[in-house]
Amino acid sequence: MKTLPAVDAVIVGGGWAGLLMAKELGSRTSLNIIVLERGPSRELSDYATDMDELDYAIRLRMMQDLSKETVTLRHDITQRALPLRQHGAFLPGAGVGGSGEHWNAQVPRFLPDCFELLTKTTEKFGANTLPEDHAVRDWGITYNELEPYYTRVDKLLGTSGNAGNLRGKLIDGGNIFEGWRSEEYPTPPTKMPYFSALFRDAAKSLGYHPYPAPSANISQSYTNPDGISRGGCTYCGFCAKFGCMVGAKAQPTNLLLPIIQKRKNVSLRTGAWVRRILFDATPKSVAGGVTYIDAAGEETFQPASLIFLASWTLNNTRLLLLSGIGEPYNPSTGRGTVGSNLTHAVGFGAATAFFDQPLNRFMGSGSAGILFSDFDRDDLDRSSLNFIRGGYFAARGYGFQPIGAFGVLPNSIKATWGSEWKKASVSYYDRTATIGFAGEHLAYKTNFMDLDPAYKDALGDPLLRLTLDWRDNERKMAKFATPKAVEVARAMGAREINPFPGLRSYDAVHYNSTHIQGGTIMGDSPAYSVVSPYLQHWQLPNLFILGGSTFPQNASANPTPTILAFVYRTADVIIDRYLKNPGPLA
Amino acid sequence: MRRRHFLTLSAATLGGVLVYSLDRKAAVLAAQHKPVRVPLRFFTETEALIVAAAGSRISPSDESGPGAREAGVAIFIDRQLAGSYGRDRFRYTQPPFEEAPRELGYQGSATPRQIYRDGLKDLQGFHFLTPAAQDEALRKIESTLFFALLRQNTIEGMFCDPIHGGNAGMIGWQLVGFPGPRMSYFDEVDKHYGKAFRPKPMSLRQTTGAKIRPSEDEP
């Protein structure tokens, strides 16, 4: 094994979390920093020619290469897990920028009570409200503490939107159910495609409070506090699964990489597949560095004083398990912490609506949409509901492309090929759209991750095994949300509507969202959490874990702004306190 | 080494549309007296004829518009199978292969190439049948994985960017009113509410002016 000269910090993963940490530490300190990214390098110019539905949206060119590594899945511990051999329910990105390159860039914040979910739910509704085998936890931090960092994230991204709660003052037209914001959004809302506008009017007519989705695919030119300028969105319709052709969508490659590339103290190594974190198992233990296979295939040891794990939810968890750091979670005994609290999102197309008039759905952006959160608020009256928590409804304005959109038909049409099918598919092609629902997923003792006993990656290491299924609360939430969406579709004037058929077993085939969380959760005690709210490992104080793997359970809102807010907070505490006096912060 | 196979396309069978030869030179069939011979990368000529015939029963040329035959779907599928998709370059293919519930997705070891090669064995002589007999033959295999792939690939070949060898002359995009990749709808996105806005389709190459290598041409 080749041993490289020691550096001050090594960051595993070059996505949103890793590159934001590299930018903050790299530009505010003189630390010598290496970022290790498994995938290829990416430049903005790569995206000038990527608007090819087949290669990018169907063959998924920007996603992780599953031939090298995937995960296995089972619904409960009595089953044998099998590998997810092709992409489906979630789409981990590969390469510099990670999933932050191919996202839709919808950036709402989490509700204030999400961070104190166990305490607040118990206080308001009593301990019996939570399902018997829940694993819901407080995060060890409050929304008020996090708010300034959320505001920094909005300024970094240039988020477009209308505030609904400005320092406690509710403002019509924004999300009046959101947590308080200290400042208005940096840029005004995006333009609205027809379908989203129809949804807004229908939702309003039913007494809901629709608002423009907070969008990091920005509405107009904006220069952020780092001096990075971007133009506004052109609504070309190629967002999710693509990099942005004009750079209007916030991506690590356009907001973070240009700053990192100017810093002599930060370097980025691509094609570096990290396999282990090495640590010293003495009472005063610290992590010593990481081993990886470099782009030339050589096994390499990179010693470092500070280690950041920022390799997405699933790989963060897997690296701890492979490295033997911490005790793996055991659902039978409840002992151990690594791998616990696996959550996804209750995300599905609640009502697919078929209209008489054309929608021009090729125009739009992944976050130029309308949402309403009347069933996603911390003051919801639960007396008539048989589930807890909630979610938001969405008419997202992402552009439709024909391979994916052709052949979506009302349930009344039974043909799946031939003349009748083709005729109906042509006629409904631009007259079809789906109202989405995104709901919270509670943590349960039975949903967790460990290492698979049978299946291996291309290097011979065990795959990560997910044990994951929906429970009553999610099924009831979906059952509640579906007729609400159907009602809105009807008010929009839909001729026919396909309601969501309901949640059965966890489905790894159809896309849900890439919002998988947990495995290395934060909390105020090492008894149940892996890191403190400063994202510092409880046992190895020079190891920090960034990303959705630190979320104790998932919220309804898209996770990226919350991930970035925590990275800012951790960068601050490292610069202000840790570097002066390395050791436990909490 | 494999004997070279060609798919022969004639103006009589297709009528005034573009096809893309292997070197991606566009040829307008109607303007030619002689048929165009497109070199095949994966299929034998017979296999290509069966796929072309089956594709055009899935997405027929009929009163609702041109179908798989005019789009060049068989050529598209031939190139996909010859490339990374056909050989499962990006799929996890380590054993053991086990039966699984549907929610875990396809668990088999067969690649798209193998699935086609095996599936086509059950359709021998298909291209000589009458349309009604062809439909009957397809109904018998409707629930197979081969048919699911053939159906999905036919849709892909109807609507992909022409760079991939399908959607010839952008007839698929014209059929549904998709304008292809365009730089901006800034002045249009919040107009035309409820009314069809149908800019003339442009391919990725026309919009960007760039030479683009599709994934099936990568090693």
pLDDT over threshold 50, residue B81:
yes
B208 interaction partners in chain A (CB closer than 8 Å): 48-49, 51
pTM of the model: 0.96
Structure tokens given for B1? 């080494």
Q: Is the pLDDT of residue B16 over 50?
A: no
Name the strand (E) or helix (H) holding A101. Answer: helix A99-102
Token pair belonging to A49:
């020619």
Asked whether residue B163 carries a pLDDT value surpassing 60, the answer given is: yes
Check CB contact under 8 Å for A59 and B189: no
Within-domain flag for A75:
no
Domain boundaries, chain B: 6-217
User: Which pLDDT score is estimated for A239?
Assistant: 96
pLDDT confidence of residue B152: 98
> Range of A207's domain?
159-212+346-439+470-504
Structure confidence at residue B153 as a pLDDT band (50, 70, 90): very high
Interatomic CA distance for residues A422 and A427, integer angstroms:
8
Number of structural domains in chain A:
1
Closest CA to A31 of A4, A11, A12, A7: A7
DSSP state of A165: E
The answer to whether A262 faces chain B, any CB pair under 8 Å, is no
Q: How far apart are CA A469 and CA A27, in angstroms?
A: 43
- With a cut of 70, say whether residue B85 has pLDDT above it: yes
Would you call A59 an interface residue with chain B, using a CB distance cutoff of 8 Å? yes
Tell me which chain B residue has its CA closest to the CA of residue A52: B161
Q: Please indicate, yes or no, if residue A95 is contained in any of the structural domains.
A: no
The answer to whether residue A407 sits within a structural domain is: yes
Reading the block at residue A194, the tokens are 């027809």
* Residues A199/A489, Cβ–Cβ less than 8 Å: no
Reported ipTM: 0.96
Whether the Cβ atoms of residue A319 and residue A289 lie closer than 8 Å to each other: no
- Is the C-alpha dihedral spanning A98, A103, A107, A113 positive or negative? negative
Residue A586 within a domain: no
Judge whether A216 and A185 are in contact, CB under 8 Å.
no
Residues of A in contact with B104 (CB under 8 A): 73, 82, 84, 508-509
pLDDT attached to residue B11: 53
Question: Is A270 part of a structural domain of the chain?
Answer: no
In the chain, the amino acid numbered A91 is L
For residue A377, tell me if it sits in a domain.
Answer: yes
Chain A (7-46) residues lying within 8 Å, Cβ to Cβ, of chain B: none
pLDDT of B15 higher than 70: no
In a domain, A582, yes or no: no
Whole-angstrom Cα distance, residue A242 to residue A376?
29
Which parts of chain A have pLDDT scores under 70?
Answer: 282-284
- Give the pairing type, strands A299-309 and A2-3: parallel
A515 is catalytic: yes
- CB contacts under 8 A, A 347-406 vs B, are 357-358, 360, 362-364, 368, 401-403, 406
Q: What are phi and psi of A114, to 5 degrees?
A: -60, -35
DSSP-derived 3-state class of residue A359: coil
Sequence-distant (6+) residues with CB within 8 A of A261 are A268
Q: Are A82 and B100 in contact (CB under 8 A)?
A: yes
Residues contacting residue B36 through CB under 8 Å, at least 6 positions apart? B8, B9, B10, B19, B21, B27, B29
Instruction: Using alpha carbons, list the distances in angstroms from residue B155 to A172, A239, A431, A475.
Output: 44, 22, 18, 33
* pLDDT of amino acid A283: 58
Query: Given a cut of 50, is residue B20 above it in pLDDT?
Result: no
Q: What integer pLDDT is reported at residue B13 of this predicted model? A: 52
CA–CA–CA angle B127, B132, B137 (5° rounding): 60
| A72-95 per-position pLDDT tens digit | 999 999 999 999 999 999 999 999
- Has residue A334 been placed in a domain? no
Q: What percent of chain B has pLDDT over 70?
A: 88
User: How far are the Cα atoms of A127, A171, A374, A563 from residue A174, in angstroms, in the given order?
Assistant: 33, 6, 12, 23
pLDDT band at B21 (very low <50, low <70, confident <90, very high): very low
Nearest to A448, CA basis, from A330, A554, A354: A330
